Amino acid sequence: MTRSPKLNERQFLNSPYGGKLIDLRVYGNERQELIETSVKLPSIQLSMRSQCDLEMLATGAFSPLDSFMNQSDYLSVLNSMRLSDGIVFPIPITLPIGDEVQAEPGETVALRNSKFELLALMEIEEIYEWDLRNEAVSICGSEDTSHPLTAEMNSWGKRYISGPIKVVDLPRHHDFPELRLTPQETRHRLALMGNEKVVAFQTRNPMHRAHEELTKRSARETGGTLLIQPVVGMTKPGDVDHYTRVRCYKALVENYYDKDSTMISLIPLAMRMAGPRCALWHAIIRRNYGASHFIVGRDHASPGVSSTGNPFYSQYAAQELLQEMSEDIGVKLCASAELVFLPDEDRFEESKHVKQGQKVFFLSGTQVRNDYLERGKLLPEWFTRAEVAKILSNVYPARKDQGFCVWFTGLSGAGKSTIADVLIEKLAEYGRQITVLDGDVVRTHLSKGLGFSKTDRDTNIRRIGFVASEIVRHRGTVVAAAISPYQATRDEVRAMIGEDKFILVFVDTPIEVCESRDTKGLYAKARRKEITGFTGIDDPYQNPRDADLVVDTEVSSPSENAEKIIKLLADRGFIEHPAFLFVDSAAISAGAEAN
């Protein structure tokens, strides 16, 4: 039965989590007064993650939260996945501030974006310290910095602040305005569609025919409206950009879905990639958008494997947790199974129902990237719709046309820059335009004024990493040489640039050899304690556990080591395989003498 459009959606759709939809925005005279007041207040610039969180808080997507969490709620969430009042909420929503920020309880501060534009005012009620290891283990299940969130957490300030917020302006977005709907706007449109059951599907990847099949099945089995909600905030580093993905979603809905029972609504969420906890959190968020059911597949919100090569979470852990807590949060699980294509029947089927010997087609994400996209081949029609395949082929260059970064790490004097100089000339032979980011040169310009404390060293490496990530994103080639002594910071840079575009080369030179090469006398000064915090002497160098290549400058020459890197790049498809690899000159001489 079709409902009246005037029906109150709160009575018709699944009610907001906690009973009401939070709205932190202010309007009219109050807004203008706050804008005028803000010029006299101290300011805090928000990271992209915090901007996403603020927008979600402001519009009620995180209801019942009405501020960044205080310490009581924060600790309760870590320990029990519940707020201090007992309501289930599995992910901490916090606002970190750095040591340089001077703030006191009772003070009002202006919250601004990276361009210093005013977003909100906060009256600080509480400032508290947090423990990185405790939060990483509680939320991510591990302190392994190969988890992108754990790596990022190493760069956060060591204090969180909390207090009432008044939002003057939401972060500005100029793309897809017709699809950027608040929870209230989404609920209104869903109510007009006349179905009290709503099945939500979250995606941070392009949708292929298996996704299309499982979403249609879920909507059909529940009898509900389908709400497709692409994440357009922060996703996993290396994901397809949201502009491309949304174009794919629009093409699918316009051509292959029932428009009367399907809706797209973008969500400015900053992903945590925390597996089971995220599945529960995502379901709560979808309830605030009006959903009664939430689709969860295998490995939901998983970052993949750890530094040991093991999955961070078991395949069905997310489904199991949501199923267990479904009644607590008021959202039902739609568990999706692995689907394979049966070419003889021209349809998809759950793999567990396939008969022995039956012909099936299946492509993994790795096969999609390596066998098709990176070779410039269109994806097969059984796997994806032609419209989606065309969009992806136009924006996803073959591997040889993608950007990459070769990152040298090692002690001072290890030979990083020497090998880099050789590599740069060799890469130029392949027509690559190279940007060189040498640690010493960057310190002279981009990082002038930074010292050698751990904080300043990390800041320097992050700056190099940011510049490198932007160059790589625009298909450029970067050769970076920096001591970069800490594993967590290297992991953070790897996440910035992209797992598959970051080639870490460890120049493994013994410290005594480095000292013998030290023309600046820095090691000697460090030994005499004339300088402190010197890597390898009184500050540790953490050997990489995930180097793509380890080179030895005692055994191999700079040219030989550069050739090893060239071969690795060729093996990964970034350059064509050289016709002639390095030939040992000693072997040539021996052969000549024998003749």
Query: What digits encode the pLDDT tens for the residues 379-408?
Result: 999 999 999 999 998 888 888 889 999 999
Average pLDDT over residues 324-350: 94
Helix 416-429, helix 558-571: angle, nearest 10: 50
Task: Look at residue 565 in the predicted model and tell me its pLDDT.
Answer: 97
* 95 three-class SS: strand
Task: Look at residue 592 in the predicted model and tell me its pLDDT.
Answer: 39
Tokens of residue 346, six digits: 């021209």
Average pLDDT over residues 3-22: 74
Task: Look at residue 13 in the predicted model and tell me its pLDDT.
Answer: 95
Q: Is it true that 10-167 and 399-585 share their CATH fold?
A: no
User: pLDDT tens for residues 279-299?
Assistant: 999 999 999 999 999 999 989
Average of per-residue pLDDT values in the chain: 91
What is the fold of 399-585?
A: Rossmann fold (3.40.50)
544-to-141, 407, 440, 513 alpha-carbon distances in Å: 22, 12, 21, 19
Res. 161 pLDDT band, cuts 50 70 90: very high
Average pLDDT over residues 120-127: 98
Average pLDDT over residues 341-354: 92
Report percent pLDDT > 90 for the chain: 76
Average pLDDT over residues 221-235: 96
Rounded to 5 degrees, what are φ and ψ at 434?
-110, 135
Tokens of residue 498, six digits: 């992209």
Res. 582 pLDDT band, cuts 50 70 90: very low
- DSSP annotation of 149 reads H
| Correct CATH for 10-167 of 3.10.400.10, 3.40.50.300, 2.40.50.100, 3.40.50.720 | 3.10.400.10
Task: Look at residue 376 in the predicted model and tell me its pLDDT.
Answer: 77
Task: Look at residue 168 in the predicted model and tell me its pLDDT.
Answer: 98
Res. 589 pLDDT band, cuts 50 70 90: very low
Q: Which of 350-354, 513-517, 590-594 has the lowest mean pLDDT?
A: 590-594
Cβ neighbours around 197 below 10 Å, total: 15
Long-range own/partner contacts, residues 589-593 (CB < 8 A, 24 or more apart): none
* 234 three-class SS: strand
Q: Taking a C-beta distance cutoff of 8 angstroms, is the pair 455, 592 a contact?
A: no
Does the structure show a pLDDT above 50 at 64? Answer: yes
- Enumerate residues 6+ apart whose C-beta is below 8 A from 343: 359, 360, 361, 382
Q: Which of 64-73, 263-272, 363-372 has the lowest mean pLDDT?
A: 363-372
Q: Which of 56, 92, 97 is nearest to 75 (CA)?
A: 92
Task: Look at residue 434 in the predicted model and tell me its pLDDT.
Answer: 94
Please say if 484 is a catalytic residue: yes
The CATH architecture of the domain made up of 183-395 is: 3-Layer(aba) Sandwich (3.40)
- Enumerate residues 6+ apart whose C-beta is below 8 A from 445: none
Query: Exactly one of 265, 336, 484, 559 is catalytic; which is it?
Result: 484
Domain spans, the chain: 10-167, 183-395, 399-585
